[in-house]
Structures are given as C-alpha cells and as structure tokens.
A and B are shown apart, each in its own frame.
Chain A
Amino acid sequence: MLLAGVAAGLARHLGRSTATVRWWFVLLAPLGGAGVLLYLWLWALVPVAEPADAEEAKGLRRATPVALLLLVALPITALLGSVVADLGAIGALAGAALVCCAVIAWSLGVDRLDPSWPAAYTNGTRLLAAGILLLCAVLAALGVTNPQGVMTVLLASLLALVALGTLFAPRLVKLWSELGSERVARVKEEQRAEMAAHLHDSVLQTLAVIQNRAGASSEVARLARAQERELREWLFAGPAPVGADLAARLREVAETVELEHPVVVDVVAIGEAELPEDAGQALVAATREAVVNAARHAGGDISVYVEIAVAQTEVFVRDRGAGFDLAAVPDGRLGVRESIIGRMQRAGGAATVRSGETGTEIVLRWPETRRA
C-alpha cells in the first residue's frame, strides 16, 4: 500500500494487479486531474475492508512516508506560490502554511491511527510542520512581507493557532476519550453497586432465613447455601489479591463437599503469599480429603481455617464428631494416612491429626518447618 490502499482495493475488486490499476490512475491524472479526483473520491466513499488475518494485516503497511514527502516538497510549494502565482513573499508563506496544514492533518488523521508508523516519526513530522507554521506566523506578523494591515495579522494569528492546536491535539483527544471511558466505567460500577445492594438486602436475607428455618442439614438448606455462596461471590468479587488463589480453591472444595454431604463448611482464609504450584495442589487435595473425611464421619459444622504466610501456610480442618484413633485405623484405609499425611510429606509439608471427644482437627502445614 503506497498511499491509502485505494488502488490495491480496486485491484482486488476488479481482479487485476495493483500495478495496472496504479498506472491507470497515473495515466488519468493529466486529464483535468481525473485520476487524482477519482482516487480521492474512492478513498472517501469506499468502505475499508477488514484484513482477513494477521498475516494480511501485516502486509497492509503504508509504504510511503506521505507526511515526510510533503515536508520535503514544502520549499517547492513556497517557490510555486511566490514565483508561479506571482504573489511574492505572501504567496510563499501561504503555500508553505498550506503544506504544513496538510502535513499536520495527515499526521493526525492517518499516521497516528496507523500502528506501523512509530510514534517518534508521527510526532516528529507533526512538530516540524507546526514549527514551520509558527515560523510563517512570526514572519507574517513581523511584516517581512509588505505590510498589508489587518489581513496579515489575521493570517498570522490563524497560523499560530493551528500550530498550537497541532501541538496539543493528540493530548486533548486522548484526555477526552479517557474521560469518556472513565465515565462509562463509573456508571457501570454504580449500577452494579446498586444492584448488589438490592440483592444483598432481599435475596441474601431470604436465603439466610431459608437456611435457618429448614435446619442446617436439610436438602433445602444446602440448596439455599449453595445459591448464597454463588451470589455472594458475584456480589463481593473484587480484585483478587496474591495468594487468594489458594483461598479461592479451598472455598471451591468446601462448596463441592457441601453439595455432596449434608454439612456446613465454613472457610476462613487470611494472609497472602505465593505458593509453588505443587505445594498448592497438595494442600488443596489434602484439605479436600480432610473435609470429606469430616463430612462422612462427623457431619454438622466443619471449620476450615487457612493462614497463608511466607514463613508457613497452615490449614486447619475441624469437626465436632466423636473422633477416632489414627493408630486404630486399619492399614488398608488410605484416607487419612495416604491421601492426607503421605501427600503432604511428599510435597515437603506435614500433616497432623488430633482427635478427641469434642471433635477432630487435621492440621496441614507447608513447608514442614517455618522459614525464618
């Protein structure tokens, strides 16, 4: 693509080569500027085709540094203005100013939106054009030209304004669009907060009442609790802090166990730290086993407390069942010994089981000893 890709687009549409179409435009150009006009007309009115894929998009690169070429052509235009049109210095200044405006327009309207040109080039050409424009303005104002009174001053101020506008235009446009998107985000957030407040006041309360009235271990209460969890997650979903990953995974574990067993699993998670993936996996799997174990043998309320710290991450799973004696568990039962203790040891952690009349508590630690 040399200029705007009109020739290439037309060529694709007609099934000819791009070069042929380009030559047609060039040949038509001397006929009263027909080629140029046709080109501009097509450019303005024909919709831009989306690139079919990334490869094609890469190929669609504007090869001509139009703005730069225009700048180079600036002295020629100035010369044409003063000599050919016979307008003297005023003509030269006007010609130069016109070209500068064209450069700025091209730079703002075309180059800036085209990622294939580096920002330094876009800004550079624009700054250069603005500089020349300012120079023109100063020259016009100083009356280097034949002082022609009001017109000169007006022209000079106009040029100066355009030059200043050019310098600040991108920043203004950016500021404006940022303001717009910020406003949209704020409105969205407000709507969400309003909806959350409403749901909070109505649905969550009702779900709590249902659970209370139906009794903790009934099917209805479990359904209500699952719904409450889901809604709560949606309502209070904020930016997830580091280490929230483990807490979130453990909450998921609690949720699934609650769905499968008539128990209430309360998860309290605090602290944050990065854990290696295998340690995290071992903790989650061992916690799942511990919670399932508690749900099967004890039932009722199960407390899960997670303390995530850099020195050591600990998970406490506690139930209020009758308890059991680990030593009395037959070797064939994999549950506690293999899935919890063995798994934690393999991952470089440790697990202990304490069981008494008031319940059982399984403690998982990773790493095995606290890091200093």
Chain B
Amino acid sequence: MTERLTVVIVDDHSIFRSGLRADLDDALEVLGEAATVDEAIETIERLQPDVVLLDVHLPGGQGGGGAEVLRRAKLGRTRALALSVSDSAEDVVGVIRAGARGYITKGSSGPQVSRAVATIAGGDAVFSPRLAGFVLDAFGAPAGEQAETDAELDRLSKREREVMRFIARGFAYKEVAAELFISIKTVETHVSAVLRKLQLSSRHELTAWALERKLL
C-alpha cells in the first residue's frame, strides 16, 4: 500500500491532539481533529478517514463519550482505535462494544500508536496487555473456563486464551507467533475472534457493565 493512511484525531485536549499529531509516523496523514462528540461525528462522516483515534472521555452529545460517537456516526469504512488515560473496565468495554477495533493507553509512544493505527487499518484488532488481562478476567480464564466449540461466544477457546495470556505478558504478535509455532496471521485471527466475542458476548459481567453505563 503506497497510499498514506488517513487519520482523524478526536480528543478534547488540544495539547494532546497536537502532541499526538507531531508524534505520529510520516506514513499517516492526519485529515482533521475534533474535540466533542458532535464535532467528532460530523468530522468523521465528512472526511471518512481510514482510522479514527478516539478518546474514551469526550464532552458533548448525550454524555456517552467515545462510545456514543461510534454508535451515532455513520462510520462507513472508518475503523476506530480507542485511546484513553482510563484503566477502568467500564470505559474500555464500553468503547469496544460500541465498535472500536482496539484500545491503547495514552501513555503509548508515537511509534506505538502509529503501529496500532496500521494494524487497525489492515482489519486487525489491537490489544494492549491491559485489555488482554481484562478479557481473560471477564471471560473467567483464571477459573479455568474454556469454550467447547468455536461458535461459543461466552468463553475463550484454549488457543485464544493462550494468545491473550502472551499479550498480557507483554509479548508482541510476532513473539506470540514464535512462542506458539503459528503464523502472525493466525495470531491476528485469534485476536480478532476475541474482539468479536468481547463485542457480542452476553456474558453476565460484560452485560452488567454495559447496562450500568447505559450502553445497551
């Protein structure tokens, strides 16, 4: 792909936006910025970027923040990467279930964000160690719960659990692939499958959080 990836940055802090803009890779082209929910929806629909970098906490709209943007905007081919200073499970799950393809913390460096944007644009999911840890916890992995079939949404398969554990331990996709003797593509497939489960699962813990936050 010789064409540059297009990006829109949504964050209510101009200092953060300009900082991120300066840090991003040259392979990314920042089309625009937005600071509120309504501005974000308008900007995304008008510019149709490849990827929107979306802050979880945003003013405006109905107070739903980044998740509200994803639910209300006509995203088209645009994919979302959630950026947050928040570690709380509710925030992360909320924005993922609203459709974000990945989640990284705001402490991530420019190159890290750029890599994540490229991954998201390629159709894959981006999991930080923290998100992987949360997924393991929410799907009952420490208690040894395991899916019986591939179709099951409420538990992780053995392979998915292994992949998530490596990511939680700080391994990059490439390293996970090497550890498990599988291809990077397969790792990405597993991660995408987990993301799908996270978005679709009706597991009690997830639903409870979502309900609490009025996301359903």
Contact = CB atoms under 8 A, between A and B. Distances in A.
Interface string A249-267: 0000000000000001010
A257 B39 CA distance: 42
Interface in B83-107: 85-88, 105-107
A212 B129 contact: no
Given A200-B85, A209-B19, A318-B170, A266 B144 contact: no
Interface residues of A, number: 35
Contact of A309 (B23, B130, B133, B143): B143
Contacts of A269: 133
Contacts of A268: 129-130, 132-133, 168
A216 B168 contact: no
A223 to B, nearest CB: 14
Nearest to A203: B85
B4 interface: no
Contact of B169 (A211, A216, A301, A318): A318
A207 B105 CA distance: 13
A111 interface: no
Residue of B110, B133, B175 with most chain A CB atoms under a 10 A cut-off: B133
Interface in A177-203: 200-201
Contact of A303 (B107, B110, B170): B170
Contacts of A17: none
A305 B129 contact: yes
B168 A305 contact: yes
A226 to B, nearest CB: 13
A309 B142 contact: yes
Contacts of A12: none
A209 B57 CA distance: 16
A205 B16 contact: yes
Nearest to A224: B107
A172 interface: no
B151 interface: no
23 contacts: A201-B12, A201-B57, A205-B106, A207-B85, A208-B85, A208-B105, A211-B107, A212-B107, A236-B88, A268-B129, A268-B130, A268-B168, A270-B136, A270-B142, A271-B142, A271-B143, A303-B169, A305-B133, A305-B170, A307-B141, A308-B142, A309-B142, A311-B144
> Which are the 8 A-B pairs with shortest beta-carbon distances?
A303-B170, A271-B142, A268-B133, A270-B137, A309-B142, A208-B106, A305-B169, A204-B85
Interface of A: 200-201, 204-209, 211-213, 216, 225, 232, 236, 264, 266, 268-273, 301, 303, 305, 307-311, 316, 318, 358, 361
